[in-house]
Structure 1
Amino acid sequence: MSLRIKINDILWIKGLGNYSILILKNGRTYTSSRTLKVFELLLKEHGFIRPSKFSLVNLAYVIMPSKTPVSILQLKPTLEKIPVSRRRHAEIANLLLQYNS
């Protein structure tokens, strides 16, 4: 069975080994047998960033942080908090600045 989901409806994607869980803005979740790496390659040009090994986040739903370096990304509708890995602090802060301007 094939499921069609609009890219703009995806808040973030959580990686679980060889599976990924898509969390939508309406609160629904879907499990996919695709890895997070596959989704990263597909969605990078659509405004998604990878703040850590275990997540991929839609920049359109990020509440812009007031401090740098960024250690947590908060998402608008759910107020979900996504941790940012130490190694990606600078990269994520740069991407947020570029997206904001």
Structure 2
Amino acid sequence: MKTQEKTPGVLEVIDFCRQHGFEAELVGKWVWVRFDKRPDQATRRALKDIGFRWSKRRGRWAHNCGHPTKSARESDPWQKYHTRIVSRKGGAA
């Protein structure tokens, strides 16, 4: 029988970002990470391994933290939801 992996929650994803020194923003119940330039392969692999997905349209890495939603094509999540920086480059927020 195949076991399902548990999707990390908001606190786990924020902790991951802090441990790696990523600047992360909590938008609603999702965590978003943006880089000034394309991250190296090891960083991209670490992001994917925890569940982040690249959003080409937003130009950021997104993690739904177990809260999937429909595409927000007509709205901007940063306008619709409360946002907050939860981790800064090189250290915690």
Per residue, is there more strand in 1 or in 2? Answer: 1
Per residue, is there more helix in 1 or in 2? Answer: 1
User: Could you state the TM-score of these two structures normalised by the residue count of structure 2?
Assistant: 0.38
Higher RCO (Cα < 8 Å, 6 or more apart)? 2
